[in-house]
Amino acid sequence: MHIFTAIIAAIPAAKRWLVASVTLLALLLSGCQTTQTNVNSVGPSIAGPSKTPELGTAQRQFNYNSAIFLDVAIPVFDPGIPLDSRGNIDDKKVADEDIWPQVRRLEANRFAIDTKKALAVTKSFGAINVTPDASASADVYVLGKINYSDTETVKISVRVMDATNNIWGEKSFEHRVGEAFYRDALRKDQNPYAPIFNDIAAYVYDLLIKKPDTEKKAIKQVSDLRYAAMYSPEAFSPYLVSKRKSFTSRQTVFQLTGAPSPQDPMLQRVSLLQNKDELFVDQLQDSYEAFYAETDEAYLKYQRETLPIAADIRKKKAERAAQQLVAAGGAVLGIMLAKNSGSAAGELGAIAAGAAAVYSLSKAIETNQQVSAQRDVLSEMGQNLDIKVTPQVVELNDQTIELKGTASEQYTQLRQRLLEIYQVEATPDRQL
């Protein structure tokens, strides 16, 4: 206490007032820091019983004011595996970019399903389906590509298009999972990447609500006519015209020039085929959901156990980069000292700088070895995650047809079969 009094007495009177004011202000500010709960309303709600969300689970609210609901296709994401000039996997880039193809392919499917679930929460769309590729019939397409994923950080780019081929928007998203994510026992089975899919869903919703109902109706018409024209271009393509979006753009967009009568017998036949197509895609959702469930435990374990490894790799990479920079700087400095100074002091300086460069480089190599060891752990865990595609059985005109191969191959087989049926019905004397 005596020491404090002595310090105050030593301060000039002019400054003593300033010190006291600053001290008082600091005390006031510290008192302003609330330690209270964020609850601002208590007691029963006069609007009826309501559920209080758990802390940290607040979500955006959506309010879609339209009677027109567009159907959405979410093709399995592009896994972002680099290819060489011949279209083969570029193994060097795969290694350099820390990519494990088997994990990326799994994530390409899971991320599409995660996006579907997030979009469903908005309650602003019609049918929302994960599809093998972008050839499926829909009103809106959410096309995703995985740019980076290492269980800590995920980067996804998204393009939103409609059936007219018009691009609604493109955006890149990024999310980093906090190292303390799994400290909360309630998060044990939660998706650590959920925020990025919620952001994607909100982005698509924001694009949707800008569209007037007249445009939505036109999109649905174009979607149906494009499907019909796939089976009978001579009958239905006249109702569509494709134009370049701009003089310099290669992108073409479709516009309506008219519409066939709902009683058109060819349109009715196509509608029956389209129902089969939609039924297959609908059944395919069960397969995607089953795949998601089958891989869930292994993938969540993979995320949980490798999160600290991925975080450590990121830190070591930054450390390695800094060490390499120091090494390069030390080497340059050593060369300059040796070249520009003939004195003993200059030579000693050059030797010291060179030694520092060698030390920094050796540390960088050591760090790189640690990173490689941790990559091996990630790779070993990633090898246990693989994609299973089961055959599908579809009933077509009292015929049982088994579709084999990947989901994309099965979808192609189905459409080929539907085309054959359409052609037979259009020319009854023709035999399959």
- Output the 3-class SS for 73-138: EEECCECCCCECCCCCECHHHHHHCCCCHHHHHHHHHHHHHHHHHHHHHHCCCCCEEEECCCCCCC
Domain match, 108 and 166 both: yes
Domain match, 155 and 269 both: yes
Q: Mean pLDDT score of the chain, rounded to an integer?
A: 78
Domain contains 254? no
- Please report the pLDDT score of residue 23 as a whole number: 58
Domain match, 366 and 287 both: no
Report the number of distinct structural domains present in the chain. 2
432 has a pLDDT exceeding 50:
no
Domain match, 194 and 314 both: no
Domain contains 26? no
6 has a pLDDT exceeding 70:
no
pLDDT top residue among 290 and 197 = 197
Cα atoms in the 13 Å half-sphere on the side-chain side of 330 = 19
Domain contains 405? no
373 has a pLDDT exceeding 50:
yes
Q: Among 297, 320, 349, where does a domain finish?
A: 297
pLDDT top residue among 34 and 115 = 115
Tens digit of each residue's pLDDT (9 = 90 or more) over 140-164: 999 999 999 988 899 999 999 999 9
Label residue 331 exposed, middle or buried (CB < 10 Å: 0-12, 13-18, 19+): middle
Domain match, 289 and 348 both: no
- Please report the pLDDT score of residue 342 as a whole number: 54
Domain contains 7? no
Q: Among 366, 382, 398, where does a domain finish?
A: 382
Tens digit of each residue's pLDDT (9 = 90 or more) over 41-68: 777 777 667 666 565 566 788 999 999 9
Domain match, 141 and 179 both: yes
Please compute the mean of the pLDDT values over residues 84-90 and round it to a whole number. Answer: 91
Tens digit of each residue's pLDDT (9 = 90 or more) over 11-35: 555 555 555 555 555 555 555 555 6
Domain match, 311 and 292 both: no
- Please report the pLDDT score of residue 162 as a whole number: 97
Model's pTM, two decimal places?
A: 0.73
Domain match, 199 and 337 both: no
Domain contains 164? yes
Domain match, 199 and 318 both: no
109 has a pLDDT exceeding 80:
yes
Q: Which residue range is the domain that position 188 belongs to? A: 72-230+263-297
Label residue 223 exposed, middle or buried (CB < 10 Å: 0-12, 13-18, 19+): buried
Under a CB-based contact definition with an 8 Å cutoff, are residues 354 and 330 in contact?
yes
Tens digit of each residue's pLDDT (9 = 90 or more) over 310-340: 788 777 766 655 655 655 555 555 555 555 5
Domain match, 100 and 165 both: yes
Percent of the chain residues past pLDDT 70, beyond the cut = 65
Please compute the mean of the pLDDT values over residues 373-394 and round it to a whole number. Answer: 54
Please compute the mean of the pLDDT values over residues 242-268 and round it to a whole number. Answer: 86
Domain contains 430? no
Domain match, 207 and 114 both: yes
What residue type is assigned to position 246 of the chain?
A: S
H or E segment at 256? strand 252-256
387 has a pLDDT exceeding 50:
no
276 has a pLDDT exceeding 50:
yes
Neighbours of 214 (CB within 10 A): 9
Domain match, 278 and 360 both: no
Domain contains 192? yes
- Please report the pLDDT score of residue 294 as a whole number: 81
Q: Rounded to an integer, what is the distance from CA 205 to the centroid of its chain?
A: 16
- Please report the pLDDT score of residue 429 as a whole number: 45
Domain contains 258? no
